[in-house]
Structure 1
Amino acid sequence: MRTVAARTTALAAVVTAIGLLPWLSGKDPALSVLRARSAEQEATEEALTAIRDDLGLGSGPVALLGRWADGVVHGDLGVSWVSGTDVLPSVISGLGVSLGLMGASLAVALLLAAALSTATLVRGARGTLRGGAATGGAPAAMLASVPEFLLATVLLIALGVWLGWLPTSGWQGPSSLVLPALAMGVPAGGLLGRLVDDALPAVFGERWVGLWRTSGVTSRRIAFAALRRAVPAIVPQFGLVAVGLTGGAVAVETVFAVPGIGRAALGAAKAQDLPMIQGAVLVLLVLGLTAGALAHLVRVRLLGPGLRDAALALPSPPRMRAGRVARAVPVVLAGVLLVVIGWGLLRDPFTVEATARLAAPSWAHPMGTDGLGRDVLARLGHGAASTVGVALAVCLISYLFALTIGFLPAFSAGVADIANALPPVIAGILVAAVLGPGTVGASVAVALISWPPLAAHASALVQETRAAGFLTAQQAIGSTPRRILTRHILPAVAGPVARHAVLRLPGIALALASLGFLGLGAQPPAPEWGLLLDESRAYVERAPWAALAPAAALALLAGFAVSLSAWAGAGPRGAAAPAKAVS
């Protein structure tokens, strides 16, 4: 009931915000409609009044929200401000395409997760899993960290452009489904494979496994029993994967020009077509929340009636000390990034050379030039400075907010559910509808969804510290609540949460890059990494190096995030399991 109530509250809050989008933007809705329909027409008072009367905009936001909600209940999502057609048929058409794509992506994810965890499952069942260490965690973590839009671009260049094996755009048949499904399914499969692979060693360390093995139970039966024991504890994470798929669909459908609901939502956000945004985002949110609810029902079914109300938490797997090579990986990746960024900062990112348009890499331009003849290396270096700087600001804001709300665990849990229901791309579309595309809007969108893991960590540490025995002694000797808070509780919480926030910094940078790639973040001519990747898609067949340079930089950043997390250990003390929320 608590889970259902949280999800209902999340849906009600977001639906209210969606219904009020025409007023939250701070602009005259009638003027927005006029500009969407005819940018050249003069905004006279007579024209604006006619639009207000036609759409009922003069009755105010509350009445408008009530009419919109009543229309949703009766299957009417309104009329597009741009085309003047009903929104519902367009949403249904895009939804059918997106459901097919998400179904294929989920199949890829499950197959990949099974492949990544098979070795650990077989070795554990046979009793040959040495030291309690999982075998597929590192590859799974690398795959899980790759953003969907980046993988989609690489697949398009490699398999679509260079090799010509598969179509690169459109929706013409089963062959058009392969590349988009791989782009969405591989990161999701990496995350699921890592969760299962990390859970299995703890299961095989339980006493019943040894008793079964000595009693002559077959390895196959032990493997199935261990899988059934491990899966219920991580089934809720499958809901987060589904939420990630709804956000990833927007980017992937854009890359491959798939006529899905995600692409329709993005196009509506750029055109400020608020009724279309309302319908498309509402459908995407319902998809994500429905998938989360189904995951909860599956978990209850797997537990059975006897354990239906039990947490069934798995014991923590043994921590493994990172070797010298593992500790050196983040240092090496950071060094490569710093060298490339420093080299690019010494060059001019805005100089246009018409005679050097789309030039191949050379001594004069080590990474080639873009469609305007600008040096790609220079734009890569200067874009890193702005990307990382904005990511630092967002990370700091998320840290301070999480630290504050962590002292209110009952309140933070419900608010965190609302934030976790929104992938970064969906949050970016909503914020862009209010503030318009830009760096500020992208920063606000990422900040809105990046604090829940930090808040969960802070809340756990606050509860743990308050239960410590030394605080009772402090109260007994007359210490004031303020002194206990500032001298004992806050120092015990601030440090670990700060280290946790640093580990999430690369993921925040990747989220900002994804919004820039979709045109919701920094605007031209800013040399932001995601924007560089988006600009290069127009001429990727003629000059693939212009796309490969920012793609390689983003891949290095993703690898740095994964290796840094592995070097830091299994996770911050008291933190919740990492989710695919920001990356």
Structure 2
Amino acid sequence: MRVPVAGVTRAVCLCAVVGAVGLLPWLSGRDPALTVLRARSAEQEPTRQALDAIRGALGLDAGPLALLGSWLRGLLRGDLGTSWVSGHEVLPSVGAGLQVSLALMGAALGVTVLLAAVLLAPVLACGRGAAGAGAAMLAAVPEFLLATVALLVCGVWLGLLPTSGWEGPRNMVLPALALGIPAGGLLGRLVADALPAALDERWAELWRGAGVGRARIAAAGLKRVLPPLVPQFGMVVVGLTGGAVAVETVFAVPGIGRTALGAAKSQDLPMLQGAVLALLLLGLVTGALAALVRRRPLGPALRDAGLSLPPPRPVRVHPAVPLSLAAVLLTAVGWGLLRDPYAVNTVARLAAPSWEHPLGTDGLGRDMLARLGYGAAATVGTAAAVCLLSLLVGLALGFLPGVAAGAADIANALPPVIVGILVAAVSGPGVGGAALTVALISWPPLAAHAAALVQEVRASAHLTAQRGIGATPLWILTRHVLPSVAAPVGRHALLRLPGIALAMASLGFLGLGAQPPAPEWGLLLDESRAYVERAPWAALSPALALTLLAALAVSAGAVRGAGNATRGKAHAHGKEGSSHGEDPPREGSPRRCLT
């Protein structure tokens, strides 16, 4: 019964997403006719007659159902409409942008595989070790942050590579590194964490006893661990589609992600519909291919459809590490809260760090330390609310595993940036829209964890005894099942708080979250790009703060005992975890943007 429910839920969610894309002109709440009029002639008066004529030409006066039907009929014919801004056909522009993005993603996948191989080499050589905290840190760094730092260091300071455009292979290097390094860190960590446990299994001991060479055993170990990880590999590729939006924006690459973001900001809804549909299709195809490969295990020893990985040896850090990182961040935030983040002093604009302004000033002479402090307070507060909402949704769906599985497949195919673009097109950019965006895609890992725990608790012997003595289902649910599930899932959600804050910062960086003059960290980093050559300290301050936040996200999850419940249960129920979208902490990104 569970499989049909998941399939129905998956189909309903997919139809809802496609329907929302088709109804964007109606859902936006703005007057599309005015947008088209301004695009065609900035000097023409927006009279009633002119606006009515445009609405009639675009079919906007026929109602939402007629609008959706017209769009779907055009979609079946391969017609994505005409751009409201340029007046050109949407399909050629989407196709050209998609070609650029696919080329960039191909180069990024090359970087990903190369870095993963480097991280995996020590494990293959000696059968021991793990990718460790270094790989986890690489996986947690957001692409937009890495792209900004690469542009600043390699492009501006050292002048080694081009910082914008798409003219040749040299223009591809920095964007591919910014996309591929976090993905490679995640991929290397996944395989390197699972491989040592697989090489300790009984079959490996028998092979070693029979004199089989180390290289052949290592190759067999890779075959053992790769099939259960294929869904995670698919999510890495999906994460590249979301990360490409930020990277293409930083390096001015004319890809599909930058096209979608530009269309959302200019309210060119037909272009936005086509770009988002292309990104959604790319994510769904990737997920389907991953599922297909997962059903065809590699090698005759992997024919069991229920194959799951043994629990990996967790990466552990001393509690002093996250405490030290938190102390540094809290000191900077507390010091900044004592200052005025909105005080403008044009005389001191772009001032270098000094005792009066420890982190320098921005383009309007505002104190960067003050803006950093107030930005942290707002970002963490919003992230805490999102975290609580995700926890409640995850707990509720944990009791409906079939529904959660189908919905999670669609949520995992939608990177947060793409959801943010859709939400911004409907409600406009802002903190509320960014919070809703992150909440919509942050619940699947919590729901997977909750579903695994619910299954385990319900099968326990003491609950069987409770039913035998006549306990009601409500009594068992409220007194036994829910308390046993809520505590570990709540700790899991708390570990994801820094990653949720990073996701909020990534949306702010792209202009989809907090708006000026709000002192939000991602927005601060975006504003500083305009004068990064003259005042690099203005960009380094929020970049360093975001890096510390990523390090805190990684180290908090690796404290001895902190994540035992989370990781232990998830790996004990590896099949449920994969079906619900369970993924390891990775935040910037995203799934890049969520830890």
Aligned residues: 572
Which residue does 2:225 correspond to in 1?
Answer: 230
Displacement, 1:92?
Answer: 1.1
Which residue does 1:50 correspond to in 2?
Answer: 53
Displacement, 1:97?
Answer: 0.8
User: 8 Å contact 1:36–1:273 — kept in the other structure?
Assistant: no
User: 8 Å contact 1:113–1:192 — kept in the other structure?
Assistant: yes
Which residue does 2:257 correspond to in 1?
Answer: 262
What are the equivalent positions in structure 2 for 1:369-448 lying under 5 Å apart?
Answer: 369-448=361-440
Which residue does 1:113 correspond to in 2?
Answer: 116
TM-score computed with the length of structure 2 as normaliser: 0.93
Displacement, 1:479?
Answer: 2.1
User: 8 Å contact 2:8–2:406 — kept in the other structure?
Assistant: no
Question: Which of 187, 201, 214 is the aligned partner of 1:206?
Answer: 201
Instruction: Please tell me the residue identity of whatever aligns with 1:578.
Output: D
Displacement, 1:389?
Answer: 0.6
Label 1:442 to 1:336 Cα distance change in 2 as closer, same or farther (>3 A): same
User: How many Å separate the matches in 2 of 1:167 and 1:114?
Assistant: 27
User: 8 Å contact 1:36–1:271 — kept in the other structure?
Assistant: no
User: How many Å separate the matches in 1 of 2:38 and 2:428?
Assistant: 14
Structure 1 gap segments, 5+ residues each: none
Which residue does 1:500 correspond to in 2?
Answer: 492
Q: Deviations over 1:484-531 (max 9, x none)?
A: 111111111111111010000001000000000000000000000000
User: How many Å separate the matches in 2 of 1:484 and 1:40?
Assistant: 69
Which residue does 2:284 correspond to in 1?
Answer: 289
Q: Deviations over 1:414-464 (max 9, x none)?
A: 111121111110010010011011111111111100111111111111121
Are 2:79 and 1:76 aligned? yes
Which residue does 2:33 correspond to in 1?
Answer: 30
Which piece of structure 1 moves more, 570-579 or 139-148?
570-579
What are the equivalent positions in structure 2 for 1:480-559 lying under 5 Å apart?
Answer: 480-559=472-551
Label 1:305 to 1:42 Cα distance change in 2 as closer, same or farther (>3 A): farther
TM-score computed with the length of structure 1 as normaliser: 0.95
Displacement, 1:37?
Answer: 4.3
**C-alpha RMSD over aligned residues:** 1.9
Label 1:433 to 1:38 Cα distance change in 2 as closer, same or farther (>3 A): farther
User: How many Å separate the matches in 2 of 1:415 and 1:65?
Assistant: 23
Which piece of structure 1 moves more, 284-293 or 470-479?
470-479
SS of alignment partner, residue 165 of structure 1:
coil
Structure 2 gap segments, 5+ residues each: 571-576
User: 8 Å contact 1:7–1:289 — kept in the other structure?
Assistant: no
Instruction: Please tell me the residue identity of whatever aligns with 2:107.
Output: A
Displacement, 1:295?
Answer: 2.1
Which residue does 1:190 correspond to in 2?
Answer: 185
User: How many Å separate the matches in 1 of 2:175 and 2:258?
Assistant: 13
Displacement, 1:112?
Answer: 0.5
Label 1:31 to 1:554 Cα distance change in 2 as closer, same or farther (>3 A): same
Q: Deviations over 1:33-84 (max 9, x none)?
A: 3355456544332112111221112222112112211212222111111222
SS of alignment partner, residue 61 of structure 2:
helix
What are the equivalent positions in structure 2 for 1:175-186 lying under 5 Å apart?
Answer: 175-186=170-181
Instruction: Please tell me the residue identity of whatever aligns with 1:385.
Output: A
What is the percent sequence identity of the aligned residues? 69
User: How many Å separate the matches in 1 of 2:529 and 2:538?
Assistant: 9
Displacement, 1:356?
Answer: 0.9
Displacement, 1:254?
Answer: 0.3
Q: Deviations over 1:358-413 (max 9, x none)?
A: 11111111111111111111100110000001101111111112112221111111
Are 2:572 and 1:578 aligned? no
Which residue does 1:360 correspond to in 2?
Answer: 352
User: How many Å separate the matches in 1 of 2:33 and 2:388?
Assistant: 38
Which piece of structure 1 moves more, 523-532 or 88-97?
88-97
Displacement, 1:122?
Answer: 1.5
Label 1:306 to 1:364 Cα distance change in 2 as closer, same or farther (>3 A): closer
Label 1:347 to 1:538 Cα distance change in 2 as closer, same or farther (>3 A): same
User: How many Å separate the matches in 2 of 1:466 and 1:41?
Assistant: 68
Instruction: Please tell me the residue identity of whatever aligns with 2:334.
Output: G
Which residue does 1:565 correspond to in 2?
Answer: 557
User: 8 Å contact 1:36–1:272 — kept in the other structure?
Assistant: no
Displacement, 1:15?
Answer: 1.4
User: 8 Å contact 2:193–2:314 — kept in the other structure?
Assistant: no
Which piece of structure 1 moves more, 104-113 or 476-485?
476-485
Q: Deviations over 1:210-258 (max 9, x none)?
A: 1111111111111111111111110111110011000000000000011
What are the equivalent positions in structure 2 for 1:236-255 lying under 5 Å apart?
Answer: 236-255=231-250
Instruction: Please tell me the residue identity of whatever aligns with 1:79.
Output: T
User: How many Å separate the matches in 2 of 1:308 and 1:209?
Assistant: 18
Label 1:40 to 1:413 Cα distance change in 2 as closer, same or farther (>3 A): farther
SS of alignment partner, residue 292 of structure 1:
helix
Q: Deviations over 1:75-111 (max 9, x none)?
A: 2111111222111111111111111100000110011
Question: Which of 121, 126, 141 is the aligned partner of 1:123?
Answer: 126
Question: Which of 88, 98, 112 is the aligned partner of 1:95?
Answer: 98
Which piece of structure 1 moves more, 26-35 or 302-311?
302-311
Which residue does 1:276 correspond to in 2?
Answer: 271
Displacement, 1:182?
Answer: 0.2
User: How many Å separate the matches in 2 of 1:558 and 1:478?
Assistant: 50
User: How many Å separate the matches in 2 of 1:512 and 1:32?
Assistant: 28
User: How many Å separate the matches in 1 of 2:130 and 2:448?
Assistant: 29
SS of alignment partner, residue 303 of structure 1:
coil
User: How many Å separate the matches in 2 of 1:144 and 1:175?
Assistant: 25
User: How many Å separate the matches in 2 of 1:4 and 1:98?
Assistant: 30
Which piece of structure 1 moves more, 399-408 or 250-259?
399-408
User: 8 Å contact 2:140–2:182 — kept in the other structure?
Assistant: yes
Question: Which of 454, 462, 473 is the aligned partner of 1:462?
Answer: 454
Displacement, 1:4?
Answer: 8.0
Displacement, 1:476?
Answer: 2.3
SS of alignment partner, residue 257 of structure 1:
coil
